[in-house]
Amino acid sequence: MTGDASATRHWLLRDLPYAAMLALGVGGLVLTSFRGPTTHYYWMALAPAYGLICVISGWRRLDTGAGHMQLVLTQALHWAAFVAAMWLMFLPEVRGIVNDNATSLTLLILLALGTFVAGVHARVWRICVVGAFLAAAVPAVAWIQESAMLLLVSALLLVAAGLALWWLWRRESGRP
């Protein structure tokens, strides 16, 4: 195996779980825009998956059975609390007054907070960074959701201007 392939494999084994955490969190935002049972199940499965990644990541930093047991117990209780908070967002009483955009942002905020604190408990700085990235995504996603019409109109205007310039260029160059 060459040095580049070995370095890539090492990166994949070390950082792929954290990249997956980011992708799954942002994927939840997209999914939440669709109402249905799939959304609920996705978020309910996401927190335990994050918990498992936290346990696996923190496991190698501990050298005693008691430390391992404390890590598992802490992460299990931590993520159970966040699953309960996420579950509350899907209650019919809450869904009746909170729109889908607010629900997706609230779930992302909960996931960001849960991820950051889980990283602190597991003593894995990369998990804390994932939580910080998810938190930073909240205002960006809110801006995109709020500005969707502005972005659409801007894109349409750019396309129209490009077509007009293309038409003028073809007209001036004498091409049919």
Of 2-11, 70-79, 162-171, which gets the smallest average pLDDT? 2-11
Which residue is associated with the tokens 């997706």?
A: 104
User: Would the pTM of this model clear 0.95, i.e. be above it?
Assistant: no
What residues does each domain of the chain span? 3-146
Tokens standing for residue 35 = 């109402």
More confidently predicted of 81 and 169 = 81
pLDDT in tens, 119-173: 999 889 999 999 999 999 888 877 776 776 777 778 888 888 888 888 888 877 7
Range 41-47 contact pairs with CB under 8 angstroms and sequence separation of 24 or more:
43/86, 43/89, 43/90, 43/107, 44/83, 44/86, 44/87, 46/111, 47/79, 47/82, 47/83, 47/86, 47/111, 47/114
The whole-number pLDDT of residue 73 equals 95
Determine the distance from the C-alpha atom of residue 50 to the mean position of all C-alpha atoms in its chain, rounded to a whole number.
11
Q: Whole-angstrom Cα distance, residue 162 to residue 83?
A: 48
In this prediction, residue 32 has a pLDDT band, given cuts at 50, 70 and 90, of: low
Q: How far apart are the first and last CA of the chain?
A: 57
